[in-house]
A and B are shown apart, each in its own frame.
Chain A
């Protein structure tokens, strides 16, 4: 079934290498696709170096890591009892110090093996075989084996669990009576260290999905032993949970004994909850009460630059927000209204005003330049005459009153909406910004006619399109239903070759852009900040905290 070349690599790798040599794919694309196909990162980096004549070794740290010390991190400490139903990356960050995932998405947006040692996929991308790392021990002394993985997948795919993984791994499910359930034989235990996944539909992003925070692997007896990670923290990670209080603190100490992932430098990690007030986070790091922030908001970047003891980290991501219009509700059911709103937008200025210019202007199709399959298509430009004309045609020549719902925090979301409202005024659109507390907003994010929703980073562009714009899916907040779009997206998702996929993405992106379902102001950079004594830290695009290799230079 799986074709292998003589040196054990996926049949596609030699062609990919050739493209890299010809400059048709970038080094990043190459590493990513190679990793997707189960090539270990050492081998992939080696291949890339050989082809391009660079040296990855030069990127490695020059200083020798020191052992010891406790890293103090400011982050909201949320409830962590069941990883399968995590819905905040903060929960994943705490959970990840106890339990781990099969793959991990690194700070370079490349997915690498983690608890899984390697994997390969059939050419139709419907059969994936994952080989698990041997010699991994649970903190209770048990061996990590295939049964653990099977237990987790079966649990995630049981609708009663209520896990978002049911959607994440929908290629392993079938519909029955309007409800999703696990497809028969979807998960196959081959031997103690091999698991095979038999998918219903091709899924290019399976390794990425396995690195997402709700896909942390718990022990096979998790449910039997109470099903609460905080009370019974059995895991494979190098740390042990010592103290945990929601809303206050989470304290970890390094476990005794060897860790499969090699040397871990920190003696301990302490998370401190400073509430939802970003000024308090800033105050905490400025007065040396913590060493690292989970998140630095863009507004506070100028303040950090004045403090010499701090090191700021920045990365452009697939994090964004979209002002999405519900296409089946008045007045947005008229495409001319949506296009008129779109014609008022100067994306670059929105980025400048609402996010201090840290990021890349959006193009209203929800595929980011950091995504491997991103195709460059002409962006929409501001044209008030066109907007007024469209509005007049739609019967709103005398002006249009609209309301957009958005969440109060983080501040960039209401700020973007306020800037948006100013931008719509010249066309005669009076946009009222309805700023709501988090709880209230998330009660109605899928139902409000006009809403501003933040979307997190995902490694591949097609992942979000599949989650949010395919007809009838749960997170399709705009109720966009276009069979043509679904078909074009299917086409794109069946292609592994980044250059070919790029070609297939052109009509997908264009269609979404022309249908004016969303105003996507910008792709935002994310930031964090650490004390300069913190070494080996890298900012991860999905704000995951990978601290196993971090050390403190006292």
Chain B
């Protein structure tokens, strides 16, 4: 095979990916998961259009779902303790969580993949140093690490992304390294080496695409876990600073009143759980589909 042959084969490869992605339809579990995610993504994107009220505007506190305040409008999920519309806050909150969770996961993957490729392909002292560092970071119970980092450096969106990256990249590195160790002995890698391709080319063009299957499944699970983490930090009062809606923070602010006004707490709980469920189901579906090949 020549270089040209490989390059010209690329468009059909992309089609192949798309066809594979469409396979998720064959798993009803995965489809449901994808459906939930698409629902929340739509909510997040369309929040400015769909949300009946501004997320921080205050009307009448503690109103039950379906409360109608003429001429202002109807509060389908009720209002919270400050009189804010819960439905609108959930929609805007979806933006927050669907921005930070994938962003944090993406950053963690960027770092983790680089480390994993370097460790797995180069081996030697690089592998030793990276692997040992990963061991050290992974030896921290993860929430302990988050709590210490966030309380030391302060709670903000950026710090959450950095903390997630710092804490998750080593785990991703381990997975990538394992895959690379397996793939580096394949024929096409040997062929590329014979051709005199650079290490970077081999790592990113030959090895990485072939490791994608397990990585995509892992990424889905990880996004779900990061959503929980952001929720937990919000719940502990270490999350994104108010007033902008953050699902975990919504639970934390209102749970003292849950006994009298359960709707204020239960809807955000359902929102978080459903989104995490979506990612977990999608991951399960993807795994199922990939095993069928």
Contacts and interface: CB of A to CB of B under 8 A. Distances in A.
A and B touch in the complex (CB under 8 A): yes
Contact of B243 (A278, A297, A421): A421
Contact of A409 (B61, B237, B243): B237
A434 interface: yes
A356 to B, nearest CB: 7
A433 B240 CA distance: 12
Interface stretch (A233-241, A264-272, A298-306): A298-306
Given A353-B58, A414-B242, A419-B82, A306 B259 contact: yes
B242 A435 contact: yes
Contact of A437 (B58, B237, B260): B237
A278 B256 contact: yes
B257 interface: yes
A489 to B, nearest CB: 36
A419 B80 CA distance: 13
A422 B56 contact: yes
A299 to B, nearest CB: 5
B48 interface: no
B260 A306 contact: yes
B253 interface: yes
Interface in A347-362: 352-354, 356
A515 B21 CA distance: 67
Contacts of A353: 58, 61, 82-83
Nearest to B241: A435
Given A302-B62, A433-B242, A279 B57 contact: no
Contacts of A136: none
Given A299-B81, A353-B83, A419-B82, A433 B243 contact: yes
B58 A302 contact: no
A282 B259 CA distance: 10
B106 interface: no
Contacts of B259: 282, 286, 303, 306
Contacts of A201: none
Is the interface on chain B under 10, 10 to 19, 20 to 34, or 35 or more residues? 20 to 34
B255 interface: yes
Given A414-B242, A418-B82, A279 B260 contact: no
Interface in B246-276: 253, 255-261
A422 B257 contact: no
A408 interface: yes
A69 to B, nearest CB: 28
Interface string B276-292: 00000000000000000
Interface residues of A, number: 28
SS of A interface (majority): helix
Contacts of B257: 299-300, 302-303
Interface in B212-232: none
Interface in A380-431: 408-409, 411, 414-415, 418-419, 421-422
A167 to B, nearest CB: 32
B261 to A, nearest CB: 7
A422 B57 contact: yes
A279 B82 contact: no
Interface in A276-321: 278-279, 282, 286, 297, 299-300, 302-303, 305-306
B172 to A, nearest CB: 31
Given A300-B256, A303-B259, A422-B57, A415 B82 contact: yes
Interface core residue of B82, B151, B256 (most chain A CB under 10 Å): B256
A279 B237 contact: no
Interface core residue of A278, A303, A434 (most chain B CB under 10 Å): A303
B202 to A, nearest CB: 49
A353 B83 CA distance: 7
Interface core residue of B56, B57, B82 (most chain A CB under 10 Å): B82
Interface in B142-174: 151
Contacts of B258: 279
A411 B242 CA distance: 12
Interface in A481-517: none
A444 to B, nearest CB: 13
Contacts of A419: 58, 82
A437 B233 CA distance: 13
Interface in B42-61: 56-58, 61
Interface string A129-166: 00000000000000000000000000000000000000
A414 B241 CA distance: 11
A129 to B, nearest CB: 49
Nearest to B238: A437
A344 to B, nearest CB: 14
B204 to A, nearest CB: 42
Contacts of B82: 353-354, 415, 418-419
Contacts of A433: 241-243
Nearest to A349: B58
Contacts of B81: 299, 415
A419 B58 CA distance: 8
Nearest to A276: B237
A177 B252 CA distance: 50
Given A299-B81, A408-B237, A434-B241, A422 B58 contact: yes
Nearest to B265: A279
Nearest to B255: A279
Interface in A156-208: none
A382 to B, nearest CB: 15
Nearest to A278: B256
Interface in B64-92: 81-83
A418 B256 contact: no
17 contacts: A282-B256, A299-B257, A300-B257, A302-B62, A303-B257, A305-B260, A306-B260, A409-B237, A411-B253, A415-B81, A415-B82, A418-B82, A419-B58, A419-B82, A422-B57, A435-B241, A435-B242
Q: Which 4 A-B pairs have the closest CB atoms?
A: A302-B260, A279-B256, A303-B259, A303-B260
Interface of B: 56-58, 61-62, 81-83, 151, 237, 241-243, 253, 255-261
Interface of A: 278-279, 282, 286, 297, 299-300, 302-303, 305-306, 352-354, 356, 408-409, 411, 414-415, 418-419, 421-422, 433-435, 437
Given A279-B256, A353-B58, 5 more contacts: A299-B81, A302-B260, A409-B237, A418-B243, A437-B237
